[in-house]
Amino acid sequence: MAELGLGTAGLGNVFGDVDDEAAAEVVAAAAGAGVRYFDTAPYYGFGLAERRLGRARPLGSSVVSTKVGRTLTGGGCVFDFSADAVRRGIEGSLERLGLDRVDVVYLHDPDDHEEEAATRAWPELRRLRDEGVVSAIGVGMNQWEMPARFVERLDVDVVLLAGRYTLLDRSGERLLDLCGERGVDVVLGGVFNSGLLIDPRPGAWFDYAPAPADLLARAQRMQEVAASAGYDLAACALAFAAAHPAVTSVLVGATSAAQVRANADAFGREVPADLLSRLVSG
């Protein structure tokens, strides 16, 4: 059964300024709501999200994932999937997180670097896994085609797929089915498609840009159907993402403790399968 995870891009001020106190409250609220999986990356605030998570990270059985490939430099981040960059990247992440090992590491958006990621970064990740520095390795992307090729050709433990398996965009279903066949865990992010599946009002965004009129209209129809059955659209979006048998975690970001609690409440709602089917078919 899929569990709720916390995405920490917001703690890196990616979606607006969040101060240290509010960031700590987000992590504490997530832990208080039973969240045990926290995803981060050096790219989120150029190390800020990792540092904030490291300072606030709850003790105990929490699982932490980070990413390599977007490498920190003096001026920000650059793509670098070399073996040296992977090892240095992990060392930097461990220092910022205050850890001596990390549970999961993803290749971060290797869209234009497939061969370098597969032939240079991946062998280094395998060595780090063999050394016990990393427990599981995978790839995290906003597309499904390249991750599918990675699953077919490499010993992938887990895939993080953002935005491609939602009520509005189910293009990633083939990847999820492949992962289910191969025993590869799937973590889903972006299940609200940048907020359109939370509040589909005019001006809402879909995948980091203003939503096209046709998608806005679809989301509004979904909202009407969900409301007529007594459910929020956000709860339906989370339930749909969690229902696929290959999915082990659904990542949702937050920039306030109130958002965390709202997401946890929505995730905890049991949504009837027939309602999800109506939303998908409509």
Taken as a whole, the chain contains a residue count of 282
What phi and psi values does residue 206 have, to the nearest 5 degrees? -130, 120
Collect all residues with Cβ–Cβ distance below 8 Å to 65 and sequence separation of at least 6. Answer: 37, 38, 39, 40, 102, 103, 104, 105, 106, 160, 187
Nearest to 84 by CA among 68, 97, 99, 108: 68
Whose CA is closest to 265, among 53, 29, 15, 65? Answer: 29
The closest alpha carbon to 153, from 127, 122, 128, belongs to 122
What's the DSSP call for residue 164? S
- Write the single-letter amino acid at 7: G
Chain position carrying tokens 């780090």: 128
| Marked catalytic residue, from 44, 106, 165, 231 | 44
Q: Are 65 and 104 in contact (CB under 8 A)?
A: yes
Catalytic residue status for 165:
no
Sequence-separated (6 or more) residues with CB below 8 Å from residue 236: 167, 222, 226, 271, 275, 276, 279
Q: How many angstroms separate the CA atoms of 103 and 279, rounded?
A: 35
Give the Cα separation of 20 and 45 in Å (integer).
13
Residue 140: beta bridge partners?
Answer: 108, 160
CA dist., res. 34 & res. 255, Å (int): 17
Where in the sequence numbering do the catalytic residues fall? 44
